[in-house]
């Protein structure tokens, strides 16, 4: 029994120190090209701390301008763009600088990772594209024979014309 508990504790300790990477829309324990390391450490809650905080609001006025305030944006006839918690005992200018820093760091975290570009060297051959276009035209002809609304028939005619134009450009 003690051996089982010790093994579970060892697994939990190794899992807690494992690195996590964001690869596009997926997460992985191994690094990937263009991936970013994700901080999986537990968030520190400010509710239990003795530091008094206040909320700053980044407001957007109806004419598009943005400004920071301690009051809710509705009191200044504006829309709330963002809210940031900052220490209460600082001058307003310092609170704004801290709030801007928090906003900038969160934008870096929420920004999508850089997309890796892949070049596909396996371009479809002319013969395979001609065959695919011929099958597409046959399918569109079947749809047209089945009938439908005027808008649907116009769509079919447009798609068929585009496929025939592509065939002409390829000299199929």
Q: How confident is the model at residue 17 (pLDDT cuts 50, 70, 90)?
A: low
Which token pair is 65?
């301008």
Structure confidence at residue 15 (pLDDT):
46
If you search the block for the tokens 């905080």, which residue do you land on?
53
Does this model's pTM top 0.85? My answer is no
Mean pLDDT, residues 147-154: 90
Residue 76 near residue 59 (C-beta atoms within 8 A): yes
Contacts of 114 (CB under 8 A, 6+ apart): 34
Q: pLDDT tens across 131-140, in order?
A: 999 999 999 9
Q: What is the pLDDT of residues 59-92, one digit of tens each?
A: 999 898 999 999 999 898 999 999 999 998 889 9
Q: What is the DSSP string of 107-150?
A: HHHHSPPPPPP-----PPPHHHHHHHHHHHHHHHHHHHHH---H
């Amino acid at each position: 029994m003690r051996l089982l508990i010790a093994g579970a504790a060892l697994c939990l300790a190794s899992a807690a120190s494992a690195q996590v990477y964001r690869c596009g829309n997926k997460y992985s324990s191994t690094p990937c090209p263009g991936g970013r390391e994700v901080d999986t450490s537990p968030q520190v809650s400010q509710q239990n701390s003795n530091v008094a905080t206040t909320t700053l609001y980044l407001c957007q006025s109806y004419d598009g301008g943005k400004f920071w305030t301690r009051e809710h944006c509705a009191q200044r006839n504006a829309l709330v763009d963002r809210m940031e918690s900052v220490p209460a005992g600082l001058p307003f200018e310092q609170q704004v600088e801290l709030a801007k820093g928090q906003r900038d760091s969160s934008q870096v975290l929420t920004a999508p990772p850089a997309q890796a570009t892949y070049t596909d060297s396996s371009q479809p051959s002319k013969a395979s594209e001609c065959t695919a276009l011929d099958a597409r035209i046959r399918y569109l002809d079947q749809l047209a024979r089945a009938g439908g609304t005027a808008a649907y028939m116009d769509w079919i005619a447009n798609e068929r014309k585009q496929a025939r134009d592509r065939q002409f450009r390829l000299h199929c």
